[in-house]
């Protein structure tokens, strides 16, 4: 159920320094989330598609994710054009679609996909462990990183535990329905997960202490910024500037 | 419950991020190194449990469980939910970097409110703790929905109708969360009261 589909691979994106990728993702997605004009938005979408192509992701998995993201946006399209105030473009029965609503829905569609693809290409292409160490390298608080790495470590263990409990209740004839019994069963199952996690955490804590845990995990990878990293950073900066400039130019005209 | 990328305005994203930093800061301050393994384990537990889908009539809904996380972790809910959201982005690419702050606040603030307002009542035991448990689960989702609505309306007032629909659509989830949280809280009281201390 839980897996990192895109984390391993052999592409330019996978080779880049994780620190560079995280910084690039931040420096790129924040301005893209804020632009409001069509030209910079489309520019961003093109740039995102470009870097996604460079990441050479599994096509099938990529489209699966795209469908999920865009089905949420589809909900947006069903509601937003008919509820926003503005100039009416067309009517379906009592519902009137407005120009403002349609423009807004379109802008969300483009921006959402652009940011999503950039995240996919830049961040989803590294294992969470690498992301954690890179965050530490970038100066994120040690406690946040330690918590992230611990959580990542045990998500898989707990998922296994959950599957075990699920198997046990199924063997006793449990079937999920819309009933109080179902909700109670799930509540006790979740309760049991928490109780077992609590006990497990105690043992893990003791084991960590035995190994001299002092509050952080040490990263043994020596990150080095390569020529590719520098080229990529420059290219991304140019892209971000171009998006910002077009937004600004249109704003003053 | 989370808001997609590209929807919210700059000021809303920034305020969300600022609130998330403050909340996470408070949470981390109370989380010393002797408890970090426990917090990580409970975050992992929350992450897995929130993937569970329960049937609701002909459809299904996934559990949110921020009420329970609040009851167990208190202010620690902020870093725990932040980490869970980062993992969600990494594994499934739900949510993302720009909305991380807002989404953390949407889930964690109601959790902390439930912790402050309802946990003392739950710990008393008896009938009251069942009622308080239900209220905790129900209100956590309701408050999250209200925060989503606020984030949308502060972005554009046109979102008023959408926000109402969103709150109404989440009503069944609130009831289910209330039931699950009530059962879970009484379960903790019987089996492992330390979880609620």
Answer whether residue A74 is part of any domain: yes
Residue-level pLDDT at B109: 97
CA distance A229 to B86: 24
Task: Give the chain A residue whose CA is nearest to the CA of B9.
Answer: A34
Question: For a pLDDT cut of 90, what percent of chain B falls above it?
Answer: 68
Stretch B13-29: mean pLDDT: 96
- Least trusted range by pLDDT, from A36-50, B7-21, B114-128: B114-128
A227 touches B at CB < 8 Å: no
Residues A206 and A226 both lie in one domain: no
pTM of the model: 0.94
Q: Hey, how many other C-beta atoms are within 10 angstroms of the C-beta on A152?
A: 25
Interface test with A, best of B11, B40, B165 (most A CBs within 10 A): B40
B10-196 CATH, one of 3.40.140.10, 3.90.1150.10, 1.10.1760.20, 1.10.10.10? 1.10.1760.20
> If you ran DSSP here, which 8-state letter would residue B53 be given?
E
Residue-level pLDDT at A2: 79
Answer whether residue A244 is part of any domain: yes
Answer whether residue A217 is part of any domain: no
Residue-level pLDDT at A145: 94
For residue B5, pLDDT beyond 90: no
Closest C-alpha to B186, from B123, B103, B113, B105: B123
Three-state secondary structure along chain A?
CCCCCCCCCCCHHHHCCHHHHHHHHHHHHHHHHHCCCHHHHHHHHHHHHHHHHHHCCCHHHHHHHHHHHHHHHHHHHHHHHHHCCCCEEEEECCEEEEHHHHHHHHHHHHHHHHHHHHHHHHCCCCCHHHHHHHHHHCCCCHHHHHHHHHHHHHHHHHHHHHHHHHHHHHHCCCCCCCCHHHHHHHHHHHHHHHHHHHHHHHHHHHHHHHCCCCCCCCCCCCCCCCHHHHHHHHHHHHHHHHHHHHHHHHHHC
> Which residue in A128, A147, A182 is closest to B79 by CB distance?
A147
Interchain pair B8, A204: CB under 8 A:
no
Binding-face residues of B in 22-61 toward A, CB within 8 A: 24, 28, 31, 33-34, 36-45, 47-49, 51-52, 54-57
Residues A195 and A235 both lie in one domain: no
Interface size, chain A vs chain B, as Cβ–Cβ contacts under 8 Å: 232
Answer whether residue A215 is part of any domain: no
Residue-level pLDDT at B71: 94
Residues A106 and A154 both lie in one domain: no
- Least trusted range by pLDDT, from A93-97, A243-247, B106-110, B175-179: A93-97
Which chain B positions have a beta carbon within 8 Å of A164's beta carbon?
none
B165 touches A at CB < 8 Å: yes
Long-range CB contacts for residues B55-60, cutoff 8 Å, separation at least 24: B55/A176, B55/A177, B55/A178, B55/A182, B56/A178, B56/B172, B56/B173, B56/B176, B57/A178, B57/B172
Which chain B positions have a beta carbon within 8 Å of A104's beta carbon?
156, 158
Interchain pair B188, A191: CB under 8 A:
yes
CA distance B109 to B115: 10
Q: Hey, how many other C-beta atoms are within 10 angstroms of the C-beta on A194?
A: 25
- Cβ atoms of residues A89 and A99 within 8 Å: yes
For residue B47, pLDDT beyond 80: yes
Task: Give the chain B residue whose CA is nearest to the CA of A213.
Answer: B33
Total count of domains within chain A: 2
Residues A91 and A120 both lie in one domain: yes
Residues A42 and A160 both lie in one domain: no
pLDDT band of residue A5 (cuts 50, 70, 90) is confident
Domain with A59 in it: 12-126+222-252
How does pLDDT run across A70-124, given as a tens digit for each residue?
Answer: 988 998 898 888 988 888 888 888 888 999 899 999 999 999 999 999 999 999 9
Residue-level pLDDT at B40: 93
Give helix then strand counts, H and E, for chain B.
8, 2
Residues A189 and A237 both lie in one domain: no
How does pLDDT run across A217-246, given as a tens digit for each residue?
Answer: 888 877 888 999 999 999 999 999 999 999
> Dihedral (C-alpha) B12, A112, B5, B145: value to the nearest 10 degrees?
90
User: Distance from A198 to chain B by nearest Cα, in Å?
Assistant: 6
- Least trusted range by pLDDT, from A209-213, A235-239, B30-34, B127-131: B30-34
Residues A94 and A164 both lie in one domain: no
H or E stretch covering B62 = strand B59-62
- Non-local (6+) Cβ contacts of A22 within 8 A are A122, A123, A131, A134, A135, A138
CA distance A82 to A96: 6
For residue B103, pLDDT beyond 90: yes
Answer whether residue A7 is part of any domain: no
Residue-level pLDDT at B105: 97
For residue B17, pLDDT beyond 80: yes
- Cβ atoms of residues A172 and B12 within 8 Å: no
How does pLDDT run across B54-95, given as a tens digit for each residue?
Answer: 988 888 888 999 999 999 999 999 999 999 999 999 888 887
> Which residue in A30, A141, A197 is closest to B45 by CB distance?
A197
For the record, the structure tokens of B99 come out as: 């909305």
Residues A58 and A121 both lie in one domain: yes
pLDDT band of residue B189 (cuts 50, 70, 90) is very high
pLDDT band of residue B192 (cuts 50, 70, 90) is very high
For residue A35, pLDDT beyond 80: yes
Residue-level pLDDT at B191: 93
Answer whether residue A178 is part of any domain: yes
């Amino acid at each position: 159920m839980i897996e990192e589909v895109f984390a391993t691979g052999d592409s330019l994106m996978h080779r880049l320094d994780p620190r560079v990728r995280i910084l690039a993702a931040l420096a790129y997605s924040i301005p893209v989330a804020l632009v409001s004009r069509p030209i910079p938005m489309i520019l961003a979408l093109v740039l995102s598609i470009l870097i996604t192509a460079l990441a050479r992701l599994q096509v099938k998995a990529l489209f699966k994710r795209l469908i999920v993201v865009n089905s949420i946006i589809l909900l947006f399209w069903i509601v937003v054009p008919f509820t926003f105030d503005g100039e009416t473009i067309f009517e379906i029965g009592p519902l009137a679609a407005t120009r403002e609503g349609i423009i807004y829905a379109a802008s969300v569609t483009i921006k959402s996909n652009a940011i999503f693809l950039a995240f996919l290409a830049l961040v989803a292409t590294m294992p969470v462990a690498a992301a954690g160490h890179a965050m530490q390298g970038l100066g994120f608080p040690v406690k946040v990183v330690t918590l992230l790495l611990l959580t990542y470590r045990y998500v898989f263990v707990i998922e296994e535990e959950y599957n075990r409990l699920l198997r046990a209740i199924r063997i006793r004839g449990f079937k999920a329905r819309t009933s109080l019994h179902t909700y109670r069963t799930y509540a006790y199952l979740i309760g049991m997960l928490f109780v077992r996690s609590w006990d497990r955490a105690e043992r893990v804590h003791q084991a960590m202490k035995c190994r001299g845990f002092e509050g952080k995990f040490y990263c043994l990878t020596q990150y080095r910024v390569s020529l590719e990293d520098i080229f990529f950073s420059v290219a991304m900066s140019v892209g971000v500037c171009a998006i910002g400039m077009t937004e600004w130019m249109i704003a003053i005209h | 419950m989370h808001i997609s990328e590209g929807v919210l305005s700059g000021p809303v994203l920034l305020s969300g991020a600022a609130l998330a930093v403050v909340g996470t800061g408070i949470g981390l301050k109370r989380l010393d190194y002797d408890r970090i393994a426990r917090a990580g384990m409970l975050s992992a537990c929350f992450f897995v449990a929130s993937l569970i889908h329960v049937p609701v009539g002909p459809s299904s809904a996934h559990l949110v469980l921020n009420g329970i996380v609040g009851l167990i972790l208190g202010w620690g809910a902020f870093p725990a939910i932040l980490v869970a959201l980062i993992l969600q982005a990494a594994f499934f690419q739900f949510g993302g970097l720009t909305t991380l702050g807002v989404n953390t606040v949407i889930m964690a603030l109601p959790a902390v409110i439930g912790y402050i307002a309802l946990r003392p009542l739950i710990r008393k035991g008896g009938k009251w703790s069942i009622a308080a448990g239900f209220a905790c689960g129900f209100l956590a989702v309701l408050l999250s929905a209200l925060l989503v609505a606020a984030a949308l309306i502060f972005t554009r007032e046109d979102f008023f109708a959408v926000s109402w629909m969103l709150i109404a659509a989440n009503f069944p989830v609130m009831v289910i969360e209330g039931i699950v949280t009530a059962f879970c809280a009484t379960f903790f009281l019987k089996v492992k009261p330390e979880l609620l201390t």
